């Protein structure tokens, strides 16, 4: 049986670090604060928001919610966003996306001050991930993968890491973060030839394809560590599942992060740590 | 003997495309123009500048040279740069770097308007390469690798490409450009374990390490295509050489780009094509 890389312990460790930093910041008269922008009441958004609010409360980060009806004008939304950008007591801004289709997502996303872009969605944040500079923040899910590997003391230096998926939310940024840790990184995708052959040679396999249970035993080897970033709904079994066919793979690898209870349990802790870090950078 | 992937034919094809576009632009009353910023008289800069001026002349791109003494103040340099940014008749800006050490390279680099950053050196240009958007331009050498592969009709889709080197000038951006062409891309570097084993499995090997003749027969396979991006000086032989030990490798691979006469022969053609493209984007 593989070692289970659970997210809860990772999130708790990140939170503890955040609590310590918040305490230090408060001694310096700084109260870290997150502004949340949400349009409408999508269940996914509400669920993530509840998690983020709870996490902020535990850590001592204040929250300000900008909540808009579905029919809000882009101008009103933009004005409030600019208000939050200018407000020195707000350190982080989270926008729930996708926004209504009539909105200019690109413009709004890039309107967030990079130093407040705690969810890493602006072009300059991504430029920072690419160039390895503190222009903004890495996307939370990508950062969560690195946090998990660090927490379980999985050495990355010189290791062959295969990342399946090349999205801007996970695949590409996590590849850059792992490269920074001196891993040798192979980026695969739907057009890659003979994926199982490539994946099964990896020391560490990061699955971020978004296809339910696609990764079976043909993709793995007994010494492999698997990080499953996928969060998919399995209609047949009526339950959440990852990109990995957990039952098929679990006995055939060294370690694996479960879904649920893996990477998904870390992302809000990372988000809040980014808010704390954003406040910290201002000292 | 391997097929020799020479740069000259690639550069000529790029130039011909540029000439055609310039002709169309002129019919629309637009004269493409490149501003060159140079401090001092370093031989490397002068040599590249001569090449760029010649290429611009051939293609019909105007050039404006901003040449400064070694002791120019950063403020004067910056003022002229801003002038070029604001000047609508200038479509591309090239700054020879490294600049004097007292200059704030990061600030100046990022002061170039992304749409005029034809050498792809600003953070937003790199963000564009990472996110696959037209924010600026790819670094010319990285783009030259893709131009060469395209010219020799080397299919990238699903191919295993190994890039050795992770710099922001070549390794990282070329990896993103190749990923965009649906290659499976492995990024290696000095900390990678067992580089020859990884490299020798590649369909296409891109060498951008900057170590003279490091890549020998142990890195290759008979069906491999090698793009040698290195330009190094071999003290012993008193000649230019690439990252590949050409004599050792030439008979053992399918195709290889020589040094000199390979990628280095394409970069100014790409630079000039970027100026033309920058002017074209304004229509």
ipTM of the complex: 0.94
B68 found inside a domain: yes
B126 found inside a domain: no
Q: Structure tokens of A71?
A: 């029919």
On whether both B158 and B247 belong to a single domain, the answer is yes
Q: Do B184 and A188 make contact, defined as CB atoms within 8 angstroms?
A: yes
| Closest residue on chain B to A180 (Cα) | B166
| Closest residue on chain A to B180 (Cα) | A166
Q: Do A159 and B186 make contact, defined as CB atoms within 8 angstroms?
A: no
On whether both B77 and B162 belong to a single domain, the answer is no
pLDDT, one tens digit per residue, over B47-99 is: 999 999 999 999 999 999 999 999 999 999 999 999 999 999 999 999 999 99
Q: Do B186 and A186 make contact, defined as CB atoms within 8 angstroms?
A: yes
User: So what's the pLDDT on residue B31?
Assistant: 98
Residues of B in contact with A168 (CB under 8 A): 130-131
On whether both B163 and B109 belong to a single domain, the answer is no
Yes or no: say if A25 and A276 are a contact pair by the CB < 8 Å rule.
yes
A72-95 burial, b at 16+ Cβ within 10 Å, e below that, comes to: beeeebeeebeebeeeeebbbbbb
Angle at A205 between CA A203 and CA A210, to 5 degrees: 175
B132 found inside a domain: no
Global pTM exceeds 0.90: yes
CA distance A32 to chain B (A): 28
On whether both B108 and B144 belong to a single domain, the answer is no
On whether both A165 and A74 belong to a single domain, the answer is no
A130 found inside a domain: no
Sign of CA dihedral B190, B191, B194, B199: negative
Query: Number of A:B CB contacts under 8 A?
Result: 85
Q: Do A130 and B135 make contact, defined as CB atoms within 8 angstroms?
A: no
Report the C-alpha gap between A22 and B254 in whole angstroms. Answer: 59
Q: Do A187 and B184 make contact, defined as CB atoms within 8 angstroms?
A: yes
pLDDT, one tens digit per residue, over B106-162 is: 999 999 999 999 999 999 999 999 999 989 999 999 999 999 999 999 999 999 999
A71 found inside a domain: yes
When divided into structural domains, chain B yields a total of 2
A19 found inside a domain: no
The CATH number of whichever domain residue B51 belongs to comes to 3.40.50.10860
B278 found inside a domain: no
On whether both A104 and A210 belong to a single domain, the answer is no
Q: Structure tokens of B142?
A: 């990285």
Task: Tell whether the model's pLDDT for residue A28 goes beyond 90.
Answer: yes
Which of B124, B185, B186 has its CB closest to that of A127? B124
On whether both B148 and B107 belong to a single domain, the answer is no
On whether both A148 and A233 belong to a single domain, the answer is yes
User: So what's the pLDDT on residue A235?
Assistant: 86
Residues of A in contact with B159 (CB under 8 A): 193
B176 found inside a domain: yes
Q: Do B135 and A129 make contact, defined as CB atoms within 8 angstroms?
A: no
The CATH number of whichever domain residue B210 belongs to comes to 3.40.50.720
Q: What is the pLDDT averaged over residues B182-187? A: 98
Residue B272 φ then ψ, to 5° = -65, -40
pLDDT, one tens digit per residue, over A84-111 is: 999 999 999 999 999 999 999 999 999 9
Which of A157, A158, A166 has its CB closest to that of B179? A166
Yes or no: say if A229 and B215 are a contact pair by the CB < 8 Å rule.
no
pLDDT, one tens digit per residue, over B12-39 is: 999 999 999 999 999 999 999 999 999 9
pLDDT, one tens digit per residue, over B197-223 is: 999 999 999 999 999 999 999 999 999
CA distance A204 to chain B (A): 14
Task: Tell whether the model's pLDDT for residue B163 goes beyond 90.
Answer: yes
| Closest residue on chain A to B194 (Cα) | A158
Residues of B in contact with A166 (CB under 8 A): 179
Residues near A97 by beta carbon (within 8 Å), at least 6 away in sequence: A105, A109, A121
User: So what's the pLDDT on residue B117?
Assistant: 98
Which of B126, B133, B179 has its CB closest to that of A130? B126
| Closest residue on chain A to B189 (Cα) | A184
pLDDT, one tens digit per residue, over A218-270 is: 999 999 999 999 999 888 889 999 999 999 999 999 999 999 999 999 999 99
CA distance B60 to chain A (A): 34
Distance of CA B222 to the CA centre of its chain: 27
- The domain of A86 spans 31-114
On whether both B144 and B257 belong to a single domain, the answer is yes
User: So what's the pLDDT on residue A26?
Assistant: 97
Residues of A in contact with B189 (CB under 8 A): 179, 182, 184
Angle at A182 between CA B224 and CA B204, to 5 degrees: 10
Closest CA to B99 of B88, B113, B85, B111: B111
On whether both B89 and B166 belong to a single domain, the answer is no
On whether both B105 and B197 belong to a single domain, the answer is no
On whether both B260 and B146 belong to a single domain, the answer is yes
């Amino acid at each position: 049986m593989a070692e289970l890389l659970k997210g809860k312990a990772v999130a708790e460790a990140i939170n503890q670090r955040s609590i310590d930093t918040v305490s230090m910041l408060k001694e310096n008269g700084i109260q870290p604060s997150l502004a949340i922008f949400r349009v409408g009441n999508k269940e996914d958004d509400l669920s993530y928001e509840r998690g983020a609010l709870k996490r902020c409360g535990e850590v001592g980060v204040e929250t300000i919610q900008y909540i808009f009806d579905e029919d809000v004008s882009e101008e009103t939304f933009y004005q409030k966003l600019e208000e939050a950008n200018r407000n020195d007591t707000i350190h982080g801004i989270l926008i729930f996306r996708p926004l209504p289709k009539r909105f200019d997502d690109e413009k709004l996303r890039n309107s967030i001050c990079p130093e407040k872009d705690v969810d890493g969605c602006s072009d300059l944040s991504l430029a920072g991930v690419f160039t390895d500079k503190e222009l903004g923040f890495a996307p939370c899910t990508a950062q969560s993968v690195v946090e998990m590997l660090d927490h379980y003391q999985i050495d990355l230096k010189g290791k062959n890491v295969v990342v399946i998926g090349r999205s801007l939310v996970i695949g590409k940024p996590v590849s850059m973060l792992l490269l920074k840790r001196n891993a040798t990184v192979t980026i695969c995708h739907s057009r890659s030839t003979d994926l199982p052959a490539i994946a099964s040679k990896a020391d560490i396999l990061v699955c971020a394809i978004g296809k339910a249970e696609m990764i079976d035993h043909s993709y793995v080897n007994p010494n492999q560590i698997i990080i499953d970033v996928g969060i998919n709904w399995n209609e047949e079994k009526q339950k959440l599942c990852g990109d990995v066919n957990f039952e098929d793979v679990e006995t055939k690898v060294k370690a694996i992060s479960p879904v649920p209870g893996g990477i998904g349990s870390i992302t809000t802790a990372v988000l809040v740590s980014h808010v704390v870090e954003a406040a910290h950078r201002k000292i």
